[in-house]
Amino acid sequence: MAEPTIPADIATMSFEDALEELEGIVATLEQGSAGLEGAIKSYERGAQLKIHCEAKLRAAREKVEKINIGPNGEVRAEPADIE
């Protein structure tokens, strides 16, 4: 199964902005006031936002994992190879 394409407006969002919009979508869906077509579109956008947030978290985790303690106990950070 292919990864869904993330729209450009989502791809440029910060984690915080994407999460905030995702939380708004969840609240709207929980209220059940969007109608069927609106709910489907909201769900699709929410799924794209979720994928974007997961990618941002994965990238942050990889950066954190690159912080190491050297042989003499000094803390050093190695550049993350994230692309």
Domain boundaries defined on the chain: 10-77
- Whether residue 14 has pLDDT greater than 80: yes
pLDDT grade for 83, boundaries at 50, 70 and 90: low
Contacts for 40-46 with beta carbons within 8 Å, 24 or more apart?
45/10, 45/21, 46/22
Predicted model pTM = 0.72
In this predicted structure, what is the pLDDT of residue 24?
95
pLDDT grade for 73, boundaries at 50, 70 and 90: confident
- For 22-69, the pLDDT digits (tens) are 999 999 999 988 789 999 999 999 999 999 999 999 888 877 767 777
- What phi and psi, each to the nearest 5 degrees, are found at residue 75? -90, 130
